[in-house]
């Protein structure tokens, strides 16, 4: 099947063909990463779904950018057959559902691999595809609760959810993209496809590897606000400024800490040793009181660009305006919406945001035509209500 978009797309993944069953959270995030870097991804939206609950319209569903959308009734036999035919010309299928859902639809790994033995079948779940919790519902906060991560984040009084960065996007979406590319690389050599099982619990545990190492060594206490990276250290944290804003300090190394004290105009001879944990509360109070004597912008003028390990804590509205982010092009405007630019950067084959988020089902007929369906086949599917928006 021809790739009619290959001459329009850019990035190191041009030529990679992916069928993405529409979901929420980590699966569309991973698909966005791949599509921004050039992969030709067809998002299969549910025929009657107006956009999977996007609160203000499809244009704000930024994780759906850079790819086209078709609308398919997956419960209709001809709808399921349509997806299977698409997989015949694809390198990857992304399954965002709980274990067993695609099998009931006739779209499970056995069904898809029978049609395309080289296919990479990527299954994105919360608890993984087996185990006693495999079929349970959950969200990011539940998945990271099983990993030690949530227990470690927040003040002493209670854990604090770190948005949904660790489970959904770190442990889920990033590991999905990584797993897909690893499997595609292997398939190019073996000629055989396989199932990639991506559980958010598994990925979040993997992200915790360094902390488990510190814990095993005895350096990390298994309690909140008692460690060097969790807000206990007086030289690593967020501090309020005179105008009610915040700055971040990360002066762990001795030379950086010495520079911090210099910029704060604090005499090290009058302070306890940096790594005396018993004295951390008192030292932190001193540093916090000092930082609160100036505004955030005043501290920016004093510390930004130095080796203090410093940055102002910016809001979502402020971040795109920071000179460093502007110089790096870290944000782009697409269809009037400011959003994060594709990452990472490539010197010879740069990616880009190829298109704004599609309205679910917007490209149904065009995509099926590009992927080898005849006009008669498309018309028959529409007449059968197997494809197309309602």
For residues 35 and 41, the answer to whether their CB atoms sit within 8 Å is yes
In angstroms, the first-to-last Cα distance of the chain is 28
Helices H / strands E in the chain, number of each: 15, 11
* Strand-by-strand arrangement of the 120-125 sheet: 68-72, 40-46, 17-21, 92-95, 120-125, 194-199
Q: Dihedral angle at the C-alpha atoms of 198, 96, 339, 47, nearest 10 degrees?
A: 170
Run of H or E residues at 300:
helix 296-303
Q: How many C-beta atoms surround the C-beta of residue 144 within 10 A?
A: 31
CA dist., res. 389 & res. 261, Å (int): 63
Q: Dihedral angle at the C-alpha atoms of 316, 321, 326, 332, nearest 10 degrees?
A: 50
* HEC profile of 1-37: CCCCCCCCCCCCCCCCEEEEECCCCHHHHHHHHHHHC
Q: How many C-beta atoms surround the C-beta of residue 366 within 10 A?
A: 13
CA dist., res. 68 & res. 46, Å (int): 14
Enzyme catalytic residues: 139, 168
Q: How many C-beta atoms surround the C-beta of residue 115 within 10 A?
A: 16
């Amino acid at each position: 099947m021809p790739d009619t978009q290959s001459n329009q797309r850019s990035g190191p993944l041009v030529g990679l063909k992916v069928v993405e069953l529409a979901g929420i959270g980590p699966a569309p995030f991973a698909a966005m990463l791949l599509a921004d870097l050039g992969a030709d991804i067809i998002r299969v939206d549910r025929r009657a779904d107006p956009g999977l609950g996007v609160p203000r319209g499809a244009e704000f569903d930024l994780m759906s950018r850079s790819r086209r959308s078709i609308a398919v009734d997956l419960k209709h036999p001809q709808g399921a057959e349509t997806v299977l035919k698409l997989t015949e010309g694809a390198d990857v299928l992304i399954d965002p559902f709980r274990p067993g859902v695609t099998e009931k639809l006739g779209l499970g790994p056995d069904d898809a691999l029978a049609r395309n033995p080289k296919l990479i079948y990527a299954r994105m779940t919360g608890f993984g595809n087996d185990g006693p919790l495999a079929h349970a519902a959950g969200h990011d906060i539940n998945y990271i609760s099983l990993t030690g991560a949530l227990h470690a984040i927040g003040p002493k009084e209670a854990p604090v959810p770190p948005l949904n960065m660790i489970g959904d996007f770190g442990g889920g979406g990033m590991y999905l993209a990584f797993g897909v590319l690893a499997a595609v690389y292997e398939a190019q050599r073996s000629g055989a496809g396989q199932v990639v099982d991506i559980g958010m619990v598994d990925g979040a545990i993997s992200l915790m590897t360094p902390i488990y190492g510190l814990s095993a060594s005895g350096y990390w206490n298994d309690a909140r606000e008692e460690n060097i990276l969790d807000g206990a250290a007086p030289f690593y944290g967020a501090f309020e400024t005179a105008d009610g804003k915040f700055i971040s300090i990360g002066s762990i190394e001795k030379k950086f800490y010495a520079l911090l004290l210099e910029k704060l105009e604090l005499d090290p001879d009058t302070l306890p040793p940096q790594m005396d944990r018993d004295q951390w509360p008192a030292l932190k109070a001193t540093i916090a009181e000092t930082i609160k004597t100036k505004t955030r912008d005043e501290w920016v003028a004093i510390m930004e660009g130095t080796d203090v390990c410093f940055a102002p804590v910016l809001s979502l509205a402020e971040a795109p305006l920071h000179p460093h982010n502007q110089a790096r092009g870290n944000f782009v405007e697409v269809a009037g919406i400011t959003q994060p630019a594709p990452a990472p950067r490539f010197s010879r084959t740069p990616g880009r945001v190829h298109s704004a988020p599609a309205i679910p089902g917007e490209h149904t007929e065009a995509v099926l035509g590009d992927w080898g369906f005849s006009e008669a086949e498309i018309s028959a599917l529409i007449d059968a209500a197997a494809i197309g928006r309602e």
